[in-house]
Amino acid sequence: MRRLIVVFALFISANVIAQESQIKIGRKAPEIALPSLTGDNISLSAQKGKVVLVDFWASWCAPCVEEQPELRKLYNQFNKSGNNTKNFEIFGVSLDSKKPAWEKTVRKYKINWIQVSDLKFWTSPVAKTYEIEALPFNVLLDKKGTIVGVNLHGKELEDAIEAELAK
Amino acid sequence: MKNIKQYLLLFSLILLSAGLRAQEKAEPWTASQLMPTSELAALINDPAAKKPLIINIGPQAVIKGSVDVGPGQEKDNIKKLEKMLSKEDKNREVVLYCGCCPFDKCPNIRPAFSLIKEKGFTKAKLLDVPKNIKTNWIDPGYPVN
């Protein structure tokens, strides 16, 4: 009987572990490798060594689009390409389904950081992997690719980037 | 005289705030024009049911059998919708849906629903998508295109 209880407990705990979220602080960020607007495949793992903000958005998402000027401000502030110290990167992942709409918004808001998309809307495997339920959604990664922040915005995001860059 | 002025000022302020509140609440649809997702899914799944005209005015025509007009915030898409509606019987049930964001943030539903009302469709409905099309349609396993 005792053995049966132990087996049952192990079964339950295995299921709990299996269901545990992958997208939380301290976990390694799952890989993303998708085409850019020019068709080049760009991977998240290639950004290792930089603090990375993975920004999930779409041109059809009004709150995401409203946030783009704020992101540009952060990008200009922390991605010091002029000093050759590009320690901060934004990895934009669009859940768009129509390339022209995606491209038009990227141009309109002068988004000059990495942009990728599989143009699969909500059926994108990346949306499933990152357990996204609504946009905008983001994760902040340290220089080793570990998640250090989930869905940070405004001053909280700025402070978190600054703190990670200082490490 | 001073008292009358004060009463007039108070009365104006009350009128103004009531007006502002009414403006905040005004939506082109009424509560009875909101169609629950479960109701539309049941209609689509029932082979014997008379199908409404289901029109996507958001980012993608996800719902099975729906026609794509594109985001209602764009004037060209509203013209497309107008052209489509001109060929339809005004007594046909028409269901508009978007699902990009919750209603308060959605830029597409108001221009599209206002048009359908203006065109005199007697059975115009807006699909009630409280969060987004993923959570309220795809995840429950309702029929997709």
Q: pLDDT tens digit string along B5-53?
A: 666 665 555 555 554 444 456 899 999 999 999 999 999 999 999 999 9
- Name which of B101, B134, B138 is nearest A62 (Cβ-Cβ): B101
Q: Taking an 8 Å Cβ-Cβ cutoff, which residues of chain B contact chain A?
A: 58-60, 62, 71, 100-101, 105-107, 131-135, 138
Cα–Cα distance between A13 and A18 in angstroms, integer? 8
Chain B residues touching residue A98 (CB < 8 angstroms): 59-60
Chain A residues touching residue B100 (CB < 8 angstroms): 58, 60-62
- Name which of A62, A96, A135 is nearest B107 (Cβ-Cβ): A62
Chain B residues touching residue A60 (CB < 8 angstroms): 58-59, 71, 100
How many contacts does A have with B, using Cβ atoms within 8 A?
Answer: 41
Length of chain B as a residue count: 145
Q: Which residue does chain A place closest to B131, by CA atoms?
A: A134
pLDDT at A16: 46
Is B131 within 8 Å of A97 when comparing Cβ atoms? no
Chain centroid offset of residue A46 CA: 14
Is B59 within 8 Å of A134 when comparing Cβ atoms? no
Which parts of chain A have pLDDT scores under 70? 1-19, 81-86
DSSP B138: I
Listed in sequence order, the DSSP H helices in B26-60 are 37-45
pTM over 0.95: no
Chain A residues touching residue B138 (CB < 8 angstroms): 122-123
pLDDT at B22: 46
Listed in sequence order, the DSSP H helices in B27-138 are 37-45, 75-86, 109-118, 133
Closest listed residue to residue B133, CA positions, set B45, B64, B73, B77: B64
Cα–Cα distance between A41 and A54 in angstroms, integer? 16
Q: Are A33 and A41 in contact (CB under 8 A)?
A: yes
First to last CA, chain A: 53
Per-residue pLDDT reduced to its tens digit, B71-103 = 999 999 999 999 999 999 999 999 999 999 999
